[in-house]
C-alpha cells in the first residue's frame, strides 16, 4: 500500500516542524520542504495535500518568498497558514495589506462551523448565525483585505475581516491563525479535517513506519562506510545510536565522552547499557575526559560560551577517536527539532546554541553528519525508541542537555560545584519517583545558582549556595509551564538536600513558564 503524505512548504516560520508533527499526530506521514522545492520533485512525491507555513515577511514586500504558481494547477488541496494564507490570497488575485490593528496571542475567532468542512468539528460558543467562537493563536501585522474570486470568508475577528477563507471547489483553504500551536483550542481538529476530510487521507501511518524507513535510508546512505556516533546516554542519542546499530551494525562506533558534567553515576550506567556486555551490535568506546573539560571551562561564566566550549571539545575528542580507529565517514548526532529551532533556523532567532547544532567548529573531520531525529519532537523520539525495543527506563529517562551540568551551574564550573548539583539532583529525582510523578512531569532537575546566603546549621553560621529546582509540563518543549508540585514533595526534597548535600543552605523552586524562560536553568 502506498504511503500517504502531506507536504509542508516552509516560508520561514518557526512552527514549520510543529505543523508536521500535528499532521503525524493524525497518523498521516508529513515532510517539510523549502518553498523553493522544484515542481517536478514536489509532484514526484505525490502528496495528498500541501500546507503553506507562516513566515516573517510581507507577501507584497521586495524579495518576499513566493510559491511557484504552477502548484495551484496540480489539483492538490492546499491549506495556507498565517503568511501562507496571505500568500495564497495574494497569488490568486486577492489583496493583502498592513492591518489597521495587529493581532498577537490568544484571540477569539468566529468560524463558519456549519458550512465549512474545515471547522465542522470545532466546539465553542454558538452564535445566532450558527457560527462557533473559539480561541486561536494569532501573530500578524498584515491581513487579507479582499479575498480572491471564488473564495468565501469562513472566519473573522472584530479586527480581522478574513481570519479564514476557502474555495471548496478547488480545495484551497486559508487560516490567518496558527492551528498547530497548543494555544489554539480546536487547532488539531482543523488540521485533522484538512488532512482526512479534504485530502482524503486514511490516517494509517504509525511511528514504526518512520523507524523502518529511517533504517533503510541510513543503510543506503552509509553503504560500506564507517560511522562514529556521539553517545551521551540520553534518550535522543540513545535512540539515534540504536537506529544506526539496526542499520549498519559493527560499522558503527559509539564514543561516549565522560566530560565530568554528567548526572550522578551516569557514566557507569551508560557503559553498562551500551558497552560490550550490553544487547546492542555496536563498538563502544568510553573516553574519560573530565579534567580536559574542567580546564577549558575554568573561569568561564557566560552560558553561551560554555555551550560552545563544550560542543567544540566534544568534536575534538571525536576527531581524535576517529583517527585512532581509522577512517570514519559519518558522524551521528541525536539532534531533535527543539534543539534546531532554539539554535536558530532560517529566520528564527538564536535562543541558545546546542552542541549538536550551533556549537560545531569550522573544521569537522568527517564526510557528513547524520541526524536521524532532527525533525522529531521529544515525545516522538520516545515513541521511536519504544518501536526499536529500547527498554522503557532508557526511553523515559529525564532529558539531559549535551553540555550537561555545565549549563545547570550558574557561573564558573568547578569539580566541587559539579559534585553539589549531582547530589542534589539525584535526591530530587529519587523523591519525584517515590511520589509517583516521574512519568507525569516532562522534565525536572536541580540546578546550582551562583547565589550564596547566610544560614544557620546547628549553632554555626554558614554561607552556602542555593539549589534551584525546576519541573515543567510540556507536550513538545516548544512551550512549557511550571509543574505545581505537592508541597509535601518540595518539603521533603528541600530537607534532604540541605541536610545531605554539603555546601547548600537554601532550596528554591523555579515557577517560570517557557516563554519567557527556557526549560533549562542557565
pTM exceeding the 0.75 threshold for the entire prediction: no
* Residue 408: alpha-carbon gap to chain centroid: 20
Question: Is 180 an annotated catalytic residue?
Answer: yes
Q: Determine, yes or no, domain membership for 226.
A: yes
Note the pLDDT of residue 460. Answer: 67
**Catalytic site residue from 90, 140, 178, 259:** 178
Together in a domain, 320 and 213: yes
Question: Which CATH number is 309's domain given?
Answer: 3.40.50.620
Range of the domain at 184: 5-198
Together in a domain, 379 and 253: yes
Cell numbers 512525491 correspond to 45
**Catalytic site residue from 103, 110, 180, 266:** 180
Question: Which CATH number is 464's domain given?
Answer: 3.30.300.10
Together in a domain, 194 and 291: no
> How many other CB atoms are found less than 10 A from the CB of residue 419?
15
pLDDT tens digits for 134-186? 999 898 889 999 999 999 999 999 989 999 999 999 999 999 999 998 889 89
User: What Å distances lie between residue 505 and 37, 118, 427, 453, 471, CA to CA?
Assistant: 58, 57, 15, 7, 21
Together in a domain, 52 and 176: yes
Together in a domain, 416 and 385: no
**Catalytic site residue from 82, 175, 229, 254:** 82
Q: Determine, yes or no, domain membership for 361.
A: yes
Q: Determine, yes or no, domain membership for 143.
A: yes
Please tell me whether residue 135 adopts helix, strand or coil conformation: strand
Together in a domain, 328 and 345: yes
Together in a domain, 156 and 298: no
Domain C-terminal end among 166, 198, 230: 198
Residues of the chain with pLDDT under 70: 1-2, 338-366, 456-461
Which of 388, 408, 389 minimizes the C-alpha distance to 398?
Answer: 408
pLDDT tens digits for 110-140? 999 889 999 999 988 888 888 999 999 898 8
Peptide bond preceding 310: is omega within 30 degrees of 0, i.e. cis? Answer: no
The mean pLDDT of the chain is 88
Number of structural domains (the chain) is 3
Domain C-terminal end among 395, 424, 453: 395
Together in a domain, 459 and 491: yes
Amino acid at each position: 500500500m502506498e504511503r500517504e503524505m502531506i507536504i509542508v512548504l516552509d516560508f520561514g516560520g518557526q512552527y514549520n516542524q510543529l505543523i508536521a508533527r500535528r499532521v503525524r499526530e493524525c497518523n498521516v506521514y508529513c515532510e517539510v520542504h523549502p518553498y523553493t522545492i522544484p515542481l517536478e520533485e514536489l509532484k514526484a512525491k505525490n502528496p495528498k495535500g500541501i500546507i503553506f507555513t507562516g513566515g516573517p515577511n510581507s507577501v507584497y514586500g521586495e524579495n518576499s518568498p513566493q510559491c511557484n504558481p504552477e502548484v495551484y494547477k496540480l489539483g492538490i488541496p492546499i491549506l495556507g497558514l498565517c503568511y501562507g494564507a496571505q500568500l495564497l490570497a495574494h497569488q490568486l488575485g486577492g489583496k493583502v495589506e498592513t492591518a489597521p490593528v495587529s493581532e498577537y496571542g490568544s484571540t477569539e475567532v468566529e468560524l463558519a462551523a456549519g458550512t465549512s468542512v474545515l471547522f465542522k468539528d470545532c466546539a465553542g460558543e454558538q452564535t445566532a448565525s450558527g457560527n462557533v467562537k473559539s480561541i486561536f493563536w494569532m501573530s500578524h501585522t498584515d491581513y487579507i483585505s479582499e479575498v480572491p474570486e471564488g473564495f468565501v470568508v469562513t472566519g473573522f475577528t472584530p479586527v480581522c475581516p478574513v481570519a479564514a477563507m476557502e474555495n471548496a471547489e478547488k480545495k484551497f483553504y486559508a487560516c490567518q491563525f496558527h492551528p498547530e500551536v497548543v494555544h489554539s483550542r480546536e487547532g488539531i481538529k482543523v488540521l485533522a479535517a484538512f488532512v482526512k476530510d479534504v485530502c482524503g487521507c486514511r490516517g494509517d501511518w504509525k511511528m514504526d513506519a518512520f523507524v523502518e524507513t529511517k533504517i533503510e535510508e541510513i543503510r543506503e546512505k552509509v553503504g560500506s562506510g564507517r560511522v562514529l556516533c556521539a553517545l551521551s546516554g540520553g534518550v535522543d542519542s540513545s535512540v539515534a545510536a540504536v537506529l544506526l546499530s539496526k542499520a549498519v551494525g559493527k560499522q558503527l562506533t559509539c564514543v561516549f565522552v565522560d566530560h565530568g558534567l554528567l548526572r550522578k553515576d551516569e557514566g557507569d550506567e551508560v557503559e553498562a547499557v551500551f558497552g560490550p556486555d550490553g544487547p546492542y551490535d555496536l563498538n563502544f568506546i568510553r573516553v574519560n575526559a573530565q579534567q580536559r573539560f574542567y580546564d577549558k571551562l575554568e573561569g568561564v561564566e557566560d552560558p553561551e560560551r560554555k555551550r560552545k566550549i563544550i560542543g567544540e571539545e566534544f568534536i575534538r575528542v571525536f576527531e581524535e577517536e576517529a583517527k585512532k580507529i581509522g577512517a570514519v565517514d559519518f558522524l551521528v548526532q541525536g539532534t531533535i527539532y527543539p534543539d534546531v529551532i532554539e539554535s536558530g533556523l532560517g529566520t528564527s532567532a538564536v535562543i541558545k546554541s546546542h552542541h549538536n547544532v550551533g556549537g560545531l567548529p569550522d573544521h569537522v573531520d568527517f564526510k557528513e553528519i547524520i541526524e536521524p531525529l532532527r525533525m522529531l519532537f521529544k515525545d516522538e523520539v520516545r515513541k521511536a525508541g519504544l518501536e526499536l525495543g529500547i527498554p522503557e527506563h532508557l526511553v523515559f529517562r529525564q532529558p539531559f542537555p549535551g553540555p550537561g551540568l555545565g549549563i545547570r551551574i550558574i557561573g564558573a564550573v568547578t569539580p566541587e560545584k559539579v559534585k553539589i548539583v549531582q547530589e542534589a539532583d539525584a535526591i530530587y529525582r529519587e523523591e519525584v519517583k517515590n511520589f509517583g510523578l516521574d512519568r507525569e512531569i516532562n522534565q525536572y532537575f536541580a540546578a546550582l545558582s551562583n547565589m550564596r546566603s547566610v544560614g544557620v546549621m546547628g549553632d554555626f553560621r554558614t554561607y552556602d549556595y542555593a539549589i534551584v529546582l525546576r519541573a515543567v509540563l510540556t507536550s513538545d518543549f516548544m512551550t512549557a509551564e511550571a509543574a505545581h508540585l505537592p508541597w509535601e514533595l518540595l518539603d521533603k526534597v528541600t530537607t534532604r538536600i540541605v541536610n545531605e548535600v554539603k555546601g547548600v543552605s537554601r532550596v528554591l523552586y523555579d515557577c517560570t513558564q517557557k516563554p519567557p524562560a527556557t526549560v533549562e536553568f542557565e
